[in-house]
Amino acid sequence: MTTATAFDVAAIRADFPILAQQLNGNPLVYFDNAATTQKPASVIETIDEYYRSYNANIHRGLHALAERATHEFELTRTAAQRFLNAETREQIIFTGGTTEGINLVAATYGRMAVGEGDEIVVSAMEHHSNIVPWQMLCQEKKARLKVIPMSDHGVLDLDAAAQTIGPRTKVVAVVYASNSLGTVNPVKALIELAHAQGAVVLVDAAQAAGHFPLDVQALGADFLVLSSHKLFGPTGIGLLYGRRALLEAMPPYQGGGEMIRDVSFEHTTYNELPYKFEAGTPNIADVVAFRKAIEYVEALDRPAAHAHEQALLAHATEALQAAVPQARVIGQAADKISVLSFVVPGAHHQDMGILLDNYGIAVRTGHHCTQPIMDRLGIPGTVRASFSIYNTVEEIDYFAQKLQRVVKMVQ
């Protein structure tokens, strides 16, 4: 069996207060990190501090609290620019999360660039949030949605991608790392294919962000979206990065306060980037706290963190096969984030999930908002154990031992 690296997991765990608790008389084993990660104390305390000491509306006020709140809010934009290696901070737009980021791009760039007979290309392993907004756009514009196929192992077919992306393709929307399979996609190669055909690419980095460094310039991404809550930050907010020329050319997403320069009943002129896309009062407290999450990740030894997660994944894959030899791993790409999805013949995923919960083990079961993957593989759903920096080999051994018992109970 593989062993974990010298990464100091105990020190990391001490930063996450929620992990210390007992559930159903057992220590909490939190393996639902692909759904949302836990939050370090620095994030939790920043939200508390914001409301206790400087809650105020931003950008408009001249008083001290408004100035501090604005300053802290904008510091997160700068941190996000650094985190993504974006060219300028104005290219970072705060959203409600990955889902809103994709809807924003579909409703603005999509409506502007896609016409009748054009094509939008997604991959076979997209989350519903990177399918439905494009389907809606296709319906509105009489455009076609095309799909890059994947293998039984959950790997995208690059040759087929080159065939699928063509001269009528206007947008390619692709997931960087799959939440159901763990697969890390060759996004740079896909971007090159798309650019060769004059299409722009939106990268869904919801899962990738918490597992490895992102660099929008090295990728050549036109748009990249992510959610704070999968990156140790608060729920309900996220980032959209866009290429500057595209953001400048796009119409606004929502109308309202903040996104305007001048309003009269006859005519409105819009604000400059990034405010053109940030109508209304944003989720200030959570944006402010998100910076602490970004800084937390930046302070990690990222190669060591990645090695730790990969060791956990390898250990869990072996432990699963040893404990439940009939289990089938769903998603067997060579390059995976630390997501282990599996099915056990004769044992329903939901029953396994409920029984594991009795032992304090939190896993996710079902289709994970990726029904087309389940249809493609001919399964109703999976059990998904997804690991983060604070998980341990001991937790995995406990999980494997309890899973063995659970499978015997439900079969």
Q: Give me the residues that bind ligand PMP (CB under 6 A), please.
A: 97-99, 127, 129-130, 175, 179, 204, 206-207, 227, 369
Pair 172, 188: CB distance under 8 Å? no
Nearer to ligand PMP, 130 or 271 (CB): 130
Nearer to ligand PMP, 33 or 108 (CB): 33
Q: What are phi and psi of 339, to 5 degrees?
A: -125, 125
Cα–Cα distance for residue pair 61/64, rounded to 1 Å: 8
**Burial (CB count <10 Å: 0-12, 13-18, 19+), residue 75:** middle
Annotated active-site residue in 44, 75, 369, 410: 369
Cα–Cα distance for residue pair 396/401, rounded to 1 Å: 9
Cα–Cα distance for residue pair 127/247, rounded to 1 Å: 24
The closest of 409, 30, 86 to 274, measured between CA atoms, is 86
Output the smallest distance, CB 218 to ligand PMP, in A: 20
Output the smallest distance, CB 132 to ligand PMP, in A: 11
Nearer to ligand PMP, 164 or 179 (CB): 179
Nearer to ligand PMP, 313 or 400 (CB): 313
Output the smallest distance, CB 101 to ligand PMP, in A: 8
Q: Within a 13 Å sphere around the CA of 86, how many CA atoms are in the beta-carbon half?
A: 24
Is 369 a catalytic site residue? yes
**Residue 20 neighbours by CB distance under 10 Å:** 10
Which residue pairs, CB below 8 angstroms and at least 24 apart, start in 20-23? 22/360, 23/357, 23/360, 23/362
Nearer to ligand PMP, 97 or 110 (CB): 97
Cα–Cα distance for residue pair 202/224, rounded to 1 Å: 6
Asked whether the CA dihedral 306, 311, 314, 320 is positive or negative, the reply is negative
Cα–Cα distance for residue pair 68/316, rounded to 1 Å: 46
Nearer to ligand PMP, 93 or 319 (CB): 93
Nearer to ligand PMP, 204 or 395 (CB): 204
Output the smallest distance, CB 179 to ligand PMP, in A: 3
Helix, strand and coil in the chain, % to nearest 5: 45, 20, 35
Cα–Cα distance for residue pair 1/33, rounded to 1 Å: 23
**Residue 149 neighbours by CB distance under 10 Å:** 15
Pair 89, 78: CB distance under 8 Å? yes
Nearer to ligand PMP, 7 or 109 (CB): 109
**Residue 28 neighbours by CB distance under 10 Å:** 16
Output the smallest distance, CB 184 to ligand PMP, in A: 12
Q: Check residue 204 and report its DSSP letter.
A: E
Output the smallest distance, CB 2 to ligand PMP, in A: 26
Q: Which residues are catalytic?
A: 369
